[in-house]
Amino acid sequence: MAKKKEKPVILITNDDDITSPGIRNLVEAVKDLGKVVVVAPDKPQSGMGHAITIGSPLRMNRMNIFGDVEAWQTTGTPVDCVKLAVDKILHRKPDLCLSGINHGANHSINVIYSGTMSAAMEASIEGIPSIGFSLLDYRYEADFTASKMVVTKMVKKLLEKKMDKHLLLNVNIPAVPVSELKGIKICKQAYAKYEEDFDERLDPHGKKYYWLTGEFINFDKGKDTDVWALQHNYASVVPVQFDLTNYTLKKQLEKSKLFK
């Protein structure tokens, strides 16, 4: 008799905090596809990048907020959550790690600042296939219907085949109703940046303080970028790597003997 196939273990985390609608929608989208365990921060961690907590200890507490789904909140960053999940909760590597669904875009250069994507990257470094999902809508009331469809479809497809253990995808979904979603497009990261514009204010004691604000500027006019895909109502999928070596520049510097 064939051995019954075990359900895949799916670790879910995010950076908006464990009570955000985005992570609840992510749980709902995949809870029938495997054994889901949630380990997520107890407070918003947007813009935390790949931060880890080394100067203070971490706490974690069991939560009962997703019905049958095991859930833990931690005092750590998204990256800490992945580390804690593997070492202290699952005591094994999950088969897949999903991060999100983020409230707000993580396309183009945002991949570098994003707590959502850093959690996914941490999993990928550990040898766990991983995907970060983000919806281009910051609002608490955002409509996750199209996002959930994209999540379920992608996770099903990926679980059906043998995934590379370092697989890492950055998925963004446009804020459109299902009827307007054109499909899923494989893309490259657009070259874009934020033009800083700190908002300078005076406190009641006459001392200056600054709020970080900025304008998003896309320098990349290609049709193969995530920004283009999202502007044209596609969900964008950018395959991501954690080897940051610039091999072109490496060759140039070797050839130039500049530092000999």
User: For residues 118-177, which are near a copy of itself according to CB under 8 A?
Assistant: 118, 121, 125-126, 153-154, 157-158, 161, 164, 167-168
Q: Other CB atoms closer than 10 Å to residue 83's CB: what's the count? A: 20
Please identify, using beta-carbon distances, which residue of 69 and 158 lies nearer to a copy of itself: 158
How far apart are the C-alpha atoms of 111 and 91, rounded to whole Å?
28
Using the minimum distance from each CB to a copy of itself, give the nearer residue, 24 or 83: 83
Residues 6+ apart with CB under 8 A from 234: 174, 181, 182, 183, 184, 185
Of 65 and 212, which has the nearer Cβ to a copy of itself? 212
Contact map string, positions 88 to 127, toward a copy of itself, x by CB under 8 A:
x--------------------x-xxx----x--x---xx-
Position among 17, 33, 35, 49 found at the interface with a copy of itself (CB under 8 A): 49
Is there binding between residue 67 and a copy of itself (CB under 8 A)?
no
* Nearer of residues 67 and 183 to a copy of itself, judged by Cβ: 183
Least distance from a copy of itself to the Cβ atom of residue 67, Å: 25
Find the binding residues for a copy of itself in span 181-220 (CB under 8 A).
183-184, 186-189, 191, 193, 196-198, 200-201, 207-212, 214
Rounded Cα distance between 171 and 239, Å, is: 9
- Does 52 participate in binding a copy of itself (rule CB under 8 A)? yes
Q: Note whether 249 binds a copy of itself by CB under 8 A.
A: yes
CB atoms within 10 A of CB 67: 9
CB atoms within 10 A of CB 168: 23
Q: DSSP class of residue 188?
A: B
Kindly give the pairing relationship between strand 96-103 and strand 214-218. unpaired
Distance, CA of 27 to CA of 72 (rounded, Å): 13
